Structure 1
């Protein structure tokens, strides 16, 4: 744990006692703060109290007596409307911050020399974060991996100048981190997402930009207009920027071309790595992730041979283009993390003969943007609430099976793919939807797919086909 001493002997409120919120409360207590913690969920309050965290209903607290409100990132700050604790904190004119901000302040006070690499982007940030950590570990560094990737940042090992802290940051977390100042800030891309929580694309982009604006060195993907503008703004401010692209060469930075990653410095170009044959980094989107990870590692000083070694040994992340198994000539891929069309596009672009399992709780944009990839889809197996909507979009373009459930979809797709004469077929779960209609989260959805695939009996895959 990282004790937070910046609020020692000060009274602070912590709201939101899920995984990261409970750790935050404990870290503040460990640092000597006078903590009052609360949650709208009584079970979370009871769990915190059982962990010796002081709890009290914040409805009964005079917020003017508090130094700050420490808010969990899942709690609305501005949209669709501020949470009641936010309203009380603003009325009392106290600051509202999150656990990443506490980390940043503690780092500046205790170990300003500790390397802090922060990663954000609409898509790809978890894979990039994990890959950066893996490259540093391969080179023998003491690496701490946390943030939005699933490990609360304040649960990491105490701050030390010899450690590297690799932290994934969501827009919700950045919005609660006004003084974020990483050694290297990575911004992969910006596309429409979370507008229900941020109100507009302009505000969403401005929040994402904050991570690189405060960085000593910025690594920015320039394949969308929002990020290109942010990189230009940093140039004007004369701040170091490493550009990355998978669409075109860059003069200074890193770019991908047919699976190879090149470094350019003052227009001098040399190849750093070749991703061909690395299943965990398949596809153009993973080329962007790899280029960003390489750029961040090179800024800090990871040797090029160790980067190449690390790329080849990277295992990838569950639910993100995860190669579950191969049965005969059929590859089964779990991309349950693809909760919108933009994310599913990355997977569809990575394969050529696809038996596609899609559906769930649809995002407003649907799947019309995926039309250029429909010729790659041999058949679609639709599940969940979006099945009828998706079927209308696919009508006349892609054969459709209204599977309804994951069990039916996996069984049908495996059978059809096994009979296909193609050299290689792919049964791909890339739903382009949230999971909440049938599963608690995308992880549970991906776990179910993986379990069903692993339970397949290859000997019966073709026998049961009618």
Structure 2
């Protein structure tokens, strides 16, 4: 844990006692804050009370007597409407911050020269966070990894010059971190997302820009127009910018051509890594993630050779193009995190042909029509969940069957893929759907797929 000693003696109101909120409450208490915490969910309040957190209904608290309101990232700050605690804090002139900001203030107070790597983007931020942490650990560096990726930032060890904190940041967290100032800040990409919380694409992009605006080094993907413009603005404001691309050459940057990564410095270009054969980094989207990791680790003082070695051994993340097994020539890939067509497109683009595609669930707006350019890569599709009938109509020119359940889909896909003459046919779970019709979340769905695959492989003659 990181005790928030910079808040010692301050009267702090905290709302939201889920995972990161409860972690923040404990950090503030450990640091000596005078804390009053609350949540609209009675079960969360009781859990916090049992953990020794002082709870009080913030409706009855005079915010004018508070130094700040700490808001959990899942609580609306601006859209669709500000939460009632936000309205109370603003009326009292009290600042509103979140857990990332608490950590940043503690870092400046106790270890201002410690290294902080912060990663954001619409897609790929979890993989890039894990990849950077893996490369650093492979080089013998003490790493603390957390944030939006799973471990709340204040559950990590305190900042120190002996370790590097590698932290994934959501737009919700950045919106509550006005002084976020990482050693290396990464903005990977931007596409339409979370507009129900930020109102417009312009607001969403402006919030993401904050992560790199105060960075010592900003690593920015320039394969979309919004990020390319942000790179120019941030550089114009005096920040050192390293551009990355998975599509084209970038001057003074790092870019991918196929599986190879190239770095240009001082007018000279050299190959710095080859991702060929690294199954966990298949596809152009992962080439961008690898380029980002290379740029970040170079900025932290690692050699390109050391980074390249680390990339070669990256195991990948669960449910994100996760290779869960192989039966003869048939490769099984768990991409359950692909809950929309943008993510499923990246998965389909990673294999040139002979895809035995398991998809379906609770459909998003627009269905899968946008994936038609990739249908010729699909040997056969196996449809599950409530979207099956609708997707079958879109896939009318593609061999397909309505499997209904994951069990049936895995069985039929394996049987068909085993008959393929391809060098490496792939059974790909990339649903392009939410999971909530059949599963609690995408993790449970992916775990079920993995378990079914492993049982089949175990029972093969």
Range of TM-score over shorter length: over 0.9
Instruction: Tell me the residue number matched to 2:321.
Output: 321
State the 4+ residue runs in structure 1 displaced beyond 6 angstroms. 458-461
> Within 1, Cα distance between the matches of 2:162 and 2:287?
29
In 1, distance between residues paired with 2:199 and 2:404?
Answer: 33
Structure 2 counterparts to residues 121-136 of structure 1, below 5 A: 121-136=121-136
Q: CA deviation at 1:305?
A: 2.3
For 2:9 and 2:356, how far apart are their aligned partners in 1?
60
TM-score, reference length from structure 1: 0.96
Which residue is equivalent to 1:367? 368
Q: 1:442: how far off?
A: 1.3
Contact conserved, 1:338 with 1:432, CA < 8 A, in 2?
Answer: yes
For 1:236-255, what aligned pairs fall within 5 Å after superposition? 236-255=236-255
Q: Is the 8 A contact 1:354 1:378 kept in 2?
A: yes
Displacement, 1:169?
Answer: 0.5
Name stretches of at least 5 consecutive residues in structure 2 with no aligned partner: none
- Aligned counterparts of 2:405 and 2:63: Cα–Cα separation in 1: 49
In 2, the alpha carbon distance for the partners of 1:88 and 1:75 equals 14
How well do the aligned residues superpose, as a CA RMSD in angstroms?
Answer: 1.5
- In the alignment, what sits opposite 1:151? 151
Q: Is the 8 A contact 2:380 2:400 kept in 1?
A: yes
Verify: 1:378 aligned to 2:379, yes or no. Answer: yes
Q: Could you tell me whether the CA contact under 8 Å between 1:139 and 1:303 is conserved in 2?
A: no
CA contact (8 A) 1:131 1:314 kept: yes
Contact 1:379 1:399 (8 Å CA) reproduced: yes
Alignment-derived partner of residue 330 in structure 1: 330
How many Å separate the matches in 2 of 1:424 and 1:137?
32
Deviation at 1:86, TM superposition (A): 1.8
The within-5 A match list for 1:261-410 is 261-351=261-351, 352-396=353-397, 398-410=398-410
In 1, distance between residues paired with 2:296 and 2:110?
Answer: 23
Q: CA deviation at 1:50?
A: 1.1
| Alignment gaps of 5+ in structure 1 | 462-466
Alignment of 1:7-406 (within 5 A): 7-351=7-351, 352-396=353-397, 398-406=398-406
- Contact 1:251–1:266 (8 Å) recurs in 2: no
| Superimposed CA distance per residue, residues 33-55 of structure 1 (whole angstroms, 9 cap, x where no aligned partner) | 01111112222111111111111
| Cα drift, residue 9 of structure 1 | 1.1
1:364 deviates by 2.2
Change (3 A) 1:385 1:79: farther
Q: C-alpha distance in 1, partners of 2:333/2:225?
A: 31
Q: SS at the partner of 2:456? A: coil
Query: How far apart in 2 are the matches of 1:160 and 1:436?
Result: 42
Match of 1:464 in 2: none
**CA distance in structure 2 between the partners assigned to 1:204 and 1:404 by the alignment:** 37
Residue deviations 1:216-244 (CA, integer Å, cap 9, x gap): 11000000011011011122223211000
In the aligned structure 1, how far is the partner of 2:139 from the partner of 2:406? 41
Q: 1:457: how far off?
A: 5.1
> In 2 relative to 1, CA 92–360 (structure 1 residues): closer, same or farther, beyond 3 Å?
farther
Q: Do residues 454 (structure 1) and 454 (structure 2) align?
A: yes
Shift of 1:251: 1.1
Q: Is the 8 A contact 1:281 1:316 kept in 2?
A: yes
Q: Distance in 2 between matches of 1:70 and 1:375?
A: 51
Instruction: Give distance in 2, aligned partners of 1:176 and 1:306.
Output: 35
Classify 1:149/1:406 alpha carbon distance in 2 versus 1 (closer, same or farther; 3 Å): same
Q: What secondary structure sits across from 1:140 in the alignment?
A: coil
13-22 or 23-32, larger mean C-alpha shift: 13-22
Asked whether the 8 Å contact 1:256–1:288 carries over to 2, the reply is yes
Q: Is the deviation greater in 90-99 or in 277-286? A: 90-99
Give the whole-Å Cα distance in 2 for the aligned partners of 1:70 and 1:115.
24
Q: Which whole-Å CA distance do the structure 2 matches of 1:63 and 1:9 have between them?
A: 16
Change (3 A) 1:97 1:388: farther
Where 2:166 maps in the other structure, the secondary structure is: strand
The Cα shift of 1:121 comes to 0.7
| Residue deviations 1:171-209 (CA, integer Å, cap 9, x gap) | 111111111110110011001111121111111111111
Over 3 Å counting, the alpha-carbon distance change for 1:439 and 1:83 in structure 2 is: farther
Q: 2-side partners of 1:399 and 1:58: how far apart?
A: 58
Distance 1:457 1:138, change over 3 A: closer
Which piece of structure 1 moves more, 363-372 or 103-112? Answer: 363-372
- SS of 1:150 mapped into structure 2: coil
Deviations 1:76-134 (Å, cap 9, x if unpaired)? Answer: 22222222222222222211111001111111111110000000011111110011111
2: CA distance, partners of 1:254 / 1:89? 44
Question: Aligned equivalents of 1:138 and 1:294: distance in 2?
Answer: 13
Confirm whether residue 443 of structure 1 aligns to residue 427 of structure 2: no
SS in 1 for 2:6: coil
